[in-house]
Amino acid sequence: MENSYIISLDQGTTSSRALLVDKNGQIIQIEQEEFEQIYPKSGWVEHNPKQILESQLRVCHKLIESTKVDVKNISAIGITNQRETTIVWDADTGEPIYNAIVWQDKRTSEYCEVLKEKGFTKYIRENTGLVVDSYFSGTKIKWILDNVEGSKEKAQQGKLRFGTVDSWLIWNLTNGEQHVTDYTNASRTLLYNINTLSWDAKLLEELQIPRNMLPEVKPSSSIFGEYEIKGVKIPIASVLGDQQAALFGQACLKKGEAKNTYGTGCFLLMNTGKKPQYSNNGLLTTIAWGLEGKVTYALEGSIFIAGAAVQWLRDEMRLIESAKETQQIAEDLEGENPVYVVPAFAGLGAPYWDMYSKGAIFGLTRDTGSRHIIKATLDSLAYQTRDILDAMQADAGFNLKRLKVDGGAAANNYLMQFQSNLLNKEVVRPKSIESTALGAAYMAGITVGIWTQEDVLESKNVDQVFEPTFTKKQRKKMYKGWKKAVKRTMNWDNNKK
């Protein structure tokens, strides 16, 4: 085991990344490549599945070449991925029949309304842990089968395969030998029963999705196949959806521990132990992981637009050249910011679940400048996190003392301090904010016997603890303004009401 390494493939919404992790759990190197975001219509978001695959393979091989690691010393590959994004491909040719429909995509909102009208809300909540929303994969599969010519017939003949991004990658890494996924990704499809750990026949029938399209579901810690590099077959030894991987990577291994990942979206998860805990406050019940013969569950709050709002400032609004600038801009703007940005570009997730909400800016006056909008956009990540944490604490029946954080935006000191102020809690940032990729690496290492769960707990080193400085009055006033702004964006785009 002296020279044992793990490669973690972290396939995200805007980029593909590969990390080399040594036997001490330290990241040796990271390679990253962004890929195209496709917006065919308002509210539609797509990726080219081949670009996803090619970019992921390129960064993997670039990592190996640049580190000069001997592939014989790579013990395993771990995969973590953007969840809910839906790919359907031809089983014979391996060719996608349509672009990947991304988790942010809203085109299936009407399908969701039909499910609600038919009374499926309660059934879906109790059996999948989810809410009826276009966020999840099930209605995206239905849309592809309804809109791609000849696809229904091919599906009935067993000639099509569906997969979330992990399944698509593994199918290609194993040359079509393995059509598999794990508990965490399956639990985000709107088709998987998290109680029986099986695909749900009633939902498959309702959405007219043939069972033969779907992958085999395995525990997150499993051998999912092998990827051959330079003649060496390396086991793919873990698969987790990105947010569950971050929960594991943050060593939230005990019931009641929680983390928030500030990525393209923002995702707050709490480990709820060996039984699913259902929410009365708009949160999702999901599978955290399957490990060593046991299933662990989590409560989750999903914020659709977080880091993506900062990208919007950079790419569409042209207010900044890089995300790093935002910290200094926000810190230099003195006093309370009268401006609120509600980045509901893909509707609102938890705890509101409003598919028809649209983004908006409130509180503009003649002296409002770009700095106010930049600071308010950062603030929106913290406000949305408080929305979810309040709901999570109500469901759990106790208050968290601290919040563990990770993801790209967790490096922003202004945002982390504002988050602490708004929550009136300690915010704990680890030395490595790469919790998602590390979570997949740790899980793969456990599968092949390099580490134990205790090793994961011992690996967590703290970089900084942010402590609240706001008065109760300040906190209350600012959050009240946020709630008022959110209320005014809701149901904006619903022509039926």
Residue 442 has pLDDT above 90, yes or no: yes
Query: Rounded CA gap, 304 and 352, in Å?
Result: 12
> What's the pTM?
0.84
Its CATH class, for the domain covering 5-241, is alpha beta
What is the tens place of the pLDDT at every residue in 195-215?
Answer: 999 999 999 999 999 999 999
Contact call for residues 181 and 128 (beta carbons, < 8 A): no
**Nearest alpha-carbon partner for 286 in 299, 275, 274:** 299
pLDDT of residue 495: 62
What is the tens place of the pLDDT at every residue in 217-270?
Answer: 999 999 999 999 999 999 999 999 999 998 999 888 988 888 998 888 888 999
Feature table: binding site for ATP:
13-15, 264, 307, 311, 408
CA 166, chain centre distance (Å): 13
Contact call for residues 43 and 106 (beta carbons, < 8 A): yes
**Percent share of the chain, pLDDT over 70:** 99
239 φψ region: left (φ > 0), alpha (ψ -120 to 50), beta (else): beta
**Nearest alpha-carbon partner for 8 in 378, 344, 329, 438:** 438
Feature table: binding site for ADP:
13, 17, 264, 307, 408, 412
Residue 1 has pLDDT above 60, yes or no: no
pLDDT of residue 18: 96
Q: CA–CA distance from 452 to each of 67, 224, 445, 460 (Å)?
A: 26, 20, 8, 14
What is the tens place of the pLDDT at every residue in 261-294?
Answer: 888 888 899 998 998 988 888 889 999 999 989 9
Query: Rounded CA gap, 411 and 457, in Å?
Result: 22
Feature table: binding site for glycerol:
83-84, 135, 242-243
Query: Rounded CA gap, 87 and 403, in Å?
Result: 34
pLDDT of residue 496: 52
Feature table: binding site for sn-glycerol 3-phosphate:
13, 83-84, 135, 242
What is the tens place of the pLDDT at every residue in 150-179?
Answer: 999 999 999 999 999 999 999 999 999 999
Feature table: binding site:
13-15, 17, 83-84, 135, 242-243, 264, 307, 311, 408, 412
Q: Average of pLDDT values for 57-85?
A: 94
- 3-class DSSP assignment, residue 37: coil
What is the tens place of the pLDDT at every residue in 294-304?
Answer: 999 999 988 88
Q: Average of pLDDT values for 25-36?
A: 92
Contact call for residues 390 and 433 (beta carbons, < 8 A): no
Q: What is the mean pLDDT of the chain?
A: 92
Q: Average of pLDDT values for 376-381?
A: 94
Show me where the domains of the chain are located. 5-241
Residue 458 has pLDDT above 80, yes or no: no
